[in-house]
Structure 1
Amino acid sequence: MSQQLNPATMSGLEILQAMAEGVFPHPSICDTMPMQCVDVSEGQVHFSVQADDRHLNPMGGVHGGFAATVLDSVTGCATHTTLIAGESYGTVDLNVKMVRPIPKNTALQAKGKVLNVSKTVVISEGDIRDENGKLYAHCTATCVITRQTK
């Protein structure tokens, strides 16, 4: 691209697409929680995720915080795709249901999608599944939107 991109003038969808394409660096949380954007479109995101030895609890299993962080990320990014330039969001509620233990060193798919957008709130849901579609965790999220004032 010959033109330098400015995140301040880009929509949320454009920013996430640029990250997925490697134009912008990935957020540092991706170094802690291995997440890679596979696909992003308006109202939806798809990440590839994989827990490893860094994510274990004292019993040797993958800490529940791994799933919670991944689900907060996919629901937040799905929300982000609905924003225009200059708008922001914050998660105000994240309701996570752990269905079964997250396996270590196993590639999983995490998806988030927007269910409803209102003037100040976005409701979304997310899940983590294996390659066969087996559900590991599910969540609903509520994000508050800071809209631009005119």
Structure 2
Amino acid sequence: MTIEDAQPLPVLEYLRRQLAGTLTSADTTMLRYPTAISELLSLELTHVSERSANVRLVADVTRHGNQQGTIHGGLLCELADAAMGTAHSTVIVSGESFTSLDLNARFVRPAWSGVLVARAYCTHVGRTISQYACEVIREDGHEVATFTSAILTLRGDSARGR
């Protein structure tokens, strides 16, 4: 069998192999991993299971800070969105894609330089729309922000070109 003959792995299997360090150059999946934004921000997948994912960021206020000297809320939104999107991607099959319908943020306390972990999980599975929640936690264990998102699964013509 050649690389061209190899079938793409299901997303969950691909990400599990990536985490285990057993992913080979011949392994592919139908979605793009790592994503460009994840590479740009140095986001790291640390856990994945069906409809669940944890994404880690080593935050630095000199790179990720706002006017007050704390981590910018937009970065926290991206971290949570990456975790929730990754969680949902674990159930996407060939011919499907997905998009976020909304992203709701509630900021609890500030974060400064250090490790942040976004823990995303599904709270409701629908035929086309699923609901996700995510907590971003500082390395001292304190919650920084909570997020929710509705994610739409696209199929057929709606999924093409995405």
Higher relative contact order at CA 8 Å, sep ≥6: structure 1 or structure 2?
1
Q: Secondary structure at the match of 1:79?
A: helix
Q: Which runs of 5+ in 2 are unaligned?
A: 158-162
Amino acid at match of 1:27: T
Larger Rg: 2
Alpha-carbon contact 2:111-2:138 (below 8 Å) kept: no
Alpha-carbon contact 1:8-1:86 (below 8 Å) kept: no
TM-score (norm 2): 0.77
Q: Secondary structure at the match of 1:84?
A: coil
Q: 1:137 to 1:88 in 2, by over 3 A?
A: same
Q: Which runs of 5+ in 1 are unaligned?
A: none
- What is the root-mean-square deviation of aligned Cα atoms in Å? 2.6
Partner Cα separation in structure 2 for residue 138 and residue 3 of structure 1: 45
TM-score (norm 1): 0.83
Counterpart residue number, 1:51: 59
Question: Does 2:88 correspond to 1:79?
Answer: yes
Which shifted more, 124-133 or 71-80? Answer: 124-133
Which deviations, in whole Å up to 9, do the C-alpha atoms of 1:64-86 show, x marking residues without a partner?
A: 11100001111111111122223
Alpha-carbon contact 1:93-1:141 (below 8 Å) kept: yes
Partner Cα separation in structure 2 for residue 55 and residue 43 of structure 1: 28
Among candidates 53, 57, 69, match of residue 60 of structure 1: 69
Counterpart residue number, 1:26: 34
Counterpart residue number, 2:160: none
